[in-house]
Structure 1
Amino acid sequence: MTGTAGKTILHLIDTTGPGGAETVFISLLNKLEETEFRNVVVLRGEGWVADQVRSLGITPHTIDSKGSFNLGYIRTLRHILKSEQVDLIHAHLLGSNVYGALLALLCRTPMIATFHGAVDVAAGERFLRAKFSIIGWGASSIVCVSRRLQDELADRSPLPKHKLKLIYNGVNPERFSRGSTTALRAELGLPRDATLVVSVGNIRPAKGYEYLVDAAVKMAEVDTNTHFVVVGHQREVLFDKLKARIAAAPRQPNIHWLGFRKDVADVLKQADIFLLPSVSEGFSISTVEAMMAGVPVIATRSGGPEEIIVDGETGLLIPIKDPDAIVTAILNLKRTVLQKEVTERARKAAYDRFSLATMLQAYFGLYQSLTTR
């Protein structure tokens, strides 16, 4: 990267736990550590992200930033930017995008803001228009991880359209080469021929897990050897509602809630079918991971999946909030011929369009253009 030697990037992100945006954040840092860029990381607390950052050999700065506009946080960020001689700011998610943009305006530093999905543009967010305006003024480039998100921001926000850029999130295909283990079935006490329908994603409203539960209840009436497996953090209030829904069902479904797992790649490689039941999705990293793992995908038409999956060719797209459609799609994908055709095309499409290398090339191009002016 000619002209970028010794350049320093300040990285900001809102959250501390695992998720799609956080995975992209760590992937970028991991690859940047192999380049001539120097990385400075500011986090808002301890957790999974901090552990991952340290595993890369980077010691993060931890600063509390409670409140909508925390002036003390800005002052501390400004001190770090000056002392570390930062050349570029890269922020992820709405809150960090706002603070990164303010910092960019104060210090006249180029800045990239990345939006990762609907959570970033929620209509109920306080002072949303003001926050968008600040980002629009301060950011040099505004990255959207899906075409739908880019169109939505262009249509209903004051963000400058000429600054909006599309970069799909990327996945490292090497992590998802197929294995032959049946350890998960043994762990769950299931027969070797049990059909595993795996979903990956933290339990939150946008993920639509109530419809997965209803589908599992219906599936229990027609196929008792199909088991639903859910990987992701279990938010207590929402998880309690899901458990109450199961308890009230006329027939107990085959659902296994695994909670947070570090071995998501291994879990995916043992799946027979991947299910994304979301009611709203910006871009689904787990869907791409399943495609790369050679697992046939069923995904709802919830936004991002329509840009990843071609219905009937690289997976099956179904309506949101439709348990019957989930059951029908699963039964269809249990047909060997369709499953083989879909998975082969899906793996190639995922490698070509959504690889980590493709994402990194796009971001590195932005880094280079903004630090060599």
Structure 2
Amino acid sequence: MTVNPTTPLQPVKPAGTRKRIMIVCPSLGFGGAETQIIVTAIGMKARGHEVAIYLLSTEKDRADEVRAAGVTLWEDNRNSRLDLPLLQRLRRVVRDWKPDLIHGYLFDGNLYARLAGMGRKVPVLSAERSSDYALRPAQTVAHLASRWRSDGVVANSWAGAALAKQMYPSLKNHIHVTWNGIDVAEVQRRAAAASGMRETLGIPEQAKVACFVGMVKPDKDFLLAVETTRALLQQADTPWHVIFVGAPIYQFMTYAAGGAAEMDSYAEQVEAAFATLPLQQNVHRLGNSKQVIELMAQSDVFFSTSVREGFPNVVLEAMTAGVPVVSTAYSDIQMILPQPWQVVTERDSHTMAAAIIRAAEDKELAQIQKDWVNQHATLDCAVDALEAVYELYIPRPAGLAS
């Protein structure tokens, strides 16, 4: 089953039986994949399914909101890329909890989900949350050795599905696209209640505010975001302030991993670029925050400079909060943003800045964006699609087979 990107989903009729779903993922931090795991797990729980999340690391930031929703949560503590004692613990949980289906998320979650399912008659789904990337050598070995245990792949973008077909050649007919979805009412509630940002940061009322959200890593092209900031700060007609929400990704690594030195070096380049910006008082770097929606809602424009990504939750949240969005071209973003000019195909800071200024002046764009989300990317849309995929893989009890 795939989701047509131009047609709203129709609700799936309940199968009449409650499913037991186990999700395996590295952590529950502030990334888009983690946010989607949380909201869909809560959405599946609200539909009457039993949902459990097995974390490969102890997670303090967002565990409470998961447990408050009644979702079972196991927090482990991985010490290496392939932690055999942890794998044994995970396999024991699978044996005792007896899930109807295991769904891995992100590379390590996919790997551990597949290894946990070996020797057990339980369907295993892998996830593809990005596109246009290559695995590292060690990841390639682990993927090739374990991919046979995947029964299907759930991608959150059409670009990701295309990559998945290359990575899982035997599963070409079992690649499913389910776009992300958000709790529209909750985002709008938080956006409506947001206040105080300008006063706290010392931003004058006449100034325009652009907001950028993302971890400091090459995929987000932070260097282009900094140069776009420079171009905005140089505007003579209107003063601009730019808010950055997010921290370097290496701060969340709980074990030594390939690529850590590269991430550290990239973070240093970003710091050096920030140091050369004029009007430093107009640049506000806030680190990670649980108030992303509130910060975006009080901004004039949200912008993204990603090189690669899957389906960006933060873009949906900005659109729902009534904030115009401008983005570089990646993945399915040209299907998501309703006006063609919102997607900048040239990776050029001045072109980005011009589109941001245009978005801030467009009085109709906010409502157009809200209408798109309501039609294509609500939480109900996402849960409907995921339930339909799960139905394809979970055997029906005797007497219910069609």
CA drift of 1:306 comes to 2.1
CA drift of 1:3 comes to 4.2
The answer for unaligned runs of 5 or more in structure 2 is 1-13, 252-263, 397-402
**CA deviation vs aligned residue, 1:316-355 (integer Å, no higher than 9, x gap):** 11135311111111222233xxx12322222111111111
Residue 275 of structure 1 is matched in structure 2 by: 303
Q: Cα gap change, 1:142/1:207 in structure 2, threshold over 3 Å: closer, same or farther?
A: same
Distance 1:258 1:174 in 2: 26
Alignment of 1:131-150 (within 5 A): 131-132=143-144, 134-135=146-147, 137-150=148-161
Q: Write out the 4+ residue segments of structure 1 that deviate beyond 4 Å after TM superposition.
A: 249-253
Residue 54 of structure 2 is matched in structure 1 by: 42
Instruction: Identify which of 190, 196, 199 aligns with 2:209.
Output: 196
Contact 2:103 2:125 in 1 (8 A): yes
Identity of aligned residues (%): 25
Q: Secondary structure at the match of 1:222?
A: coil
The answer for unaligned runs of 5 or more in structure 1 is none
TM-score, normalised relative to structure 1: 0.89
Instruction: Identify which of 389, 394, 400 aligns with 1:366.
Output: 389
Instruction: Identify which of 91, 105, 110 aligns with 1:92.
Output: 105
Instruction: Identify which of 6, 11, 23 aligns with 2:23.
Output: 11
**CA deviation vs aligned residue, 1:85-116 (integer Å, no higher than 9, x gap):** 22211111111112212332321211222221
Instruction: Identify which of 132, 152, 163 aligns with 1:152.
Output: 163
CA drift of 1:56 comes to 2.5
Q: Cα gap change, 1:84/1:176 in structure 2, threshold over 3 Å: closer, same or farther?
A: closer
CA drift of 1:277 comes to 1.2
Contact 1:277 1:320 in 2 (8 A): no
Distance 1:84 1:362 in 2: 25
Q: Cα gap change, 1:87/1:79 in structure 2, threshold over 3 Å: closer, same or farther?
A: same
CA drift of 1:75 comes to 2.2
Instruction: Identify which of 343, 347, 352 aligns with 1:321.
Output: 347
Distance 1:320 1:126 in 2: 33
TM-score, normalised relative to structure 2: 0.83
Contact 2:45 2:71 in 1 (8 A): no
Residue 7 of structure 2 is matched in structure 1 by: none
Q: Secondary structure at the match of 1:106?
A: coil
Distance 1:162 1:44 in 2: 30
With CA pairs under 8 Å and 6+ residues apart, which has the higher RCO, 1 or 2?
2
Contact 1:45 1:64 in 2 (8 A): yes
Residue 219 of structure 2 is matched in structure 1 by: 206
The one-letter amino acid paired with 1:193 is Q
CA drift of 1:60 comes to 2.2
Q: How many residues align?
A: 365
Instruction: Identify which of 257, 261, 267 aligns with 2:285.
Output: 257
Residue 220 of structure 1 is matched in structure 2 by: 233
Instruction: Identify which of 146, 169, 173 aligns with 2:184.
Output: 173
Q: Cα gap change, 1:283/1:35 in structure 2, threshold over 3 Å: closer, same or farther?
A: closer
Q: Cα gap change, 1:53/1:189 in structure 2, threshold over 3 Å: closer, same or farther?
A: same
Instruction: Identify which of 332, 350, 354 aligns with 2:358.
Output: 332
Residue 23 of structure 1 is matched in structure 2 by: 35
Residue 245 of structure 2 is matched in structure 1 by: 231
CA drift of 1:132 comes to 4.7
Residue 298 of structure 1 is matched in structure 2 by: 326
Q: Cα gap change, 1:180/1:33 in structure 2, threshold over 3 Å: closer, same or farther?
A: closer
Aligned Cα root-mean-square deviation (Å): 2.4
Q: Cα gap change, 1:217/1:153 in structure 2, threshold over 3 Å: closer, same or farther?
A: same
Contact 2:308 2:331 in 1 (8 A): yes
Distance 1:125 1:254 in 2: 42
